[in-house]
Amino acid sequence: MANQNIRTPRFYPDYISYLLSRGVVQNGNFDVTATNATNKFMGTFTTGSEAELFDMNPLNLVTFDTSADPDGHVLITINKGDATQKINYIAILNHNLVSSVGKIRIFAGDHSSDVTSIDGTAAEIDGTGINWSDNLPVEIVNADTIAHASSAQGGTYEDKSVTIEPGTNGTTIFTFPETSLQYWGIQFEGNTTNTGVSVNGTWGSTDFSVGCIMMGEFYDMPHAPELSVKKSITFDQVSIQKSIGGQKFSNMTSFGRTASTTSKSPFSISSFPQNIYGGRISYDMQFNYLASTDLMPNETGSVQPTDDAVIEDVWNKTNGNHLPFIFSIDKDSTGNNAESEHIFARFGQNALNMTQVAPDVFNISMRIEEEF
């Protein structure tokens, strides 16, 4: 969408970091499968660790030694703890899947054994799993080629997984029909000999790296904010001092997003710092006349995963301004150049004030600030 026009916003809170923030341990729930040459698993880190895959710091790269094992598969298994919380998106931030010649494969199930086999071959598709041919993901950002597992892998594997091939290094987001399946497999595999198809290839000579993995349920606001939206671009890391004679001296510790040939801030496309826009983007938005059912869950004694409401799906999942999230100013912005409508962000407030303006009708304000 041209000029980053503000329409109906969408939030992508991360359910993994929410669980970690509430005391769920990483080890045993969000794991990288150990190296096993027989089974073609590759779990050797050259930089970083398992925990850093979920630290919500996209510039903190985790690198795998894929160049030493071109046939290896990096399998990350996710146990979200229950079969009630809905999932409908996955985001891979600051990856180099084009440079390393790789792609993403997704599969899921209601048993832990559904997601521990290479390529998701143990997943079920009838009743307790996902038939990916009927539930193909949709590209939001940089998910150019999407294909479900086909008979080329053998009939028993058909439709049990889906592959996503990004067009560039950077950030990839894709969505799919919501499901509450408990166990997920996110596999990164080579793509050299089978570009754009759903069977295995090999890695290139550059090691695969990734900054952060997110998954959860996105939330669309019920309507666009009021017209008086304030958008700001602030160079808040500039310090100016004035001499006794009145001359000013400036020091800039950061101009905002970063970019290089090996790493880039979320939703930056260029690999050169002089070719990206600087400053921190922020939005001050007012949403008026929200129905109480769109704002608050039915009950507050425990979480209500089946509810769709601002507090249930966004404010509680981020612990207010504690956890970053992905924010889009237009829920319908997808595909080429959709990066322009997305930022990696955090709430710029620690309180969500709700003003009742009519029976069961409320106004709220939000401040969204870009996170570096």
Confidence of residue 46 (pLDDT cuts 50, 70, 90): very high
Give the model's pLDDT for residue 192: 83
Give burial (CB, 10 Å; 0-12/13-18/19+) of 355. Answer: exposed
What confidence category does residue 193 fall into, taking pLDDT thresholds of 50, 70 and 90? low
Q: Tell me the pTM.
A: 0.95
Q: What is the pLDDT of residue 198?
A: 58
pLDDT of residue 154: 47
How many CB atoms are located within 10 Å of the residue 127 CB? 7
Residue 24 pLDDT level (bands cut at 50, 70, 90): very high
Report the percentage of the chain scoring pLDDT > 90: 87
Cβ-contact 173, 64 below 8 angstroms: no
**Mean pLDDT of the region 134-147:** 95
Task: Give me the amino acid identity at 302.
Answer: S
User: Which amino acid does the sequence have at 60?
Assistant: N
Buried b (16+ CB within 10 A) or exposed e, 90-99: bbbbbbbbbb
Q: How high is the pLDDT of residue 2?
A: 54
* 8 A C-beta contact, residue 183 and residue 77: yes
Contacts of 301 (CB under 8 A, 6+ apart): none
Structure tokens at 266: 């979320």
Cβ-count burial 103-120 (b if 16+ within 10 Å, e if not) = bbbbbbbbeeebbbbbbb
- pLDDT digits 0-9 by tens, 61-95: 999 999 999 999 999 999 999 999 999 999 999 99
Q: Six-digit token pair at 180? A: 């509450």
User: Are 40 and 118 contacting, i.e. CB atoms less than 8 angstroms apart?
Assistant: yes
pLDDT at 341: 96
Residue 196 has pLDDT above 90, yes or no: no
Question: pLDDT category, 194, cuts 50, 70, 90?
Answer: low
3-state class (DSSP) for residue 173 = strand
- Which amino acid is residue 52, in one-letter code? E
pLDDT attached to residue 172: 98
Q: At 230, list the tokens.
A: 């304030």
* Mean pLDDT, rounded, for 292-317: 94
What's the rounded mean pLDDT across residues 311-331?
98
Distance of CA 4 to the CA centre of its chain: 20
Residue 177: pLDDT band (50, 70, 90) is very high
Do the Cβ atoms of 170 and 342 come closer than 8 Å?
no
pLDDT at 346 over 80: yes
Q: What is the pLDDT of residue 81?
A: 95
For residue 163, pLDDT over 90 is answered with yes
Cβ(153)–Cβ(199) below 8 Å: yes
3 state SS of 22: coil
Average per-residue pLDDT in the chain?
93
According to DSSP, residue 313 is labeled: I
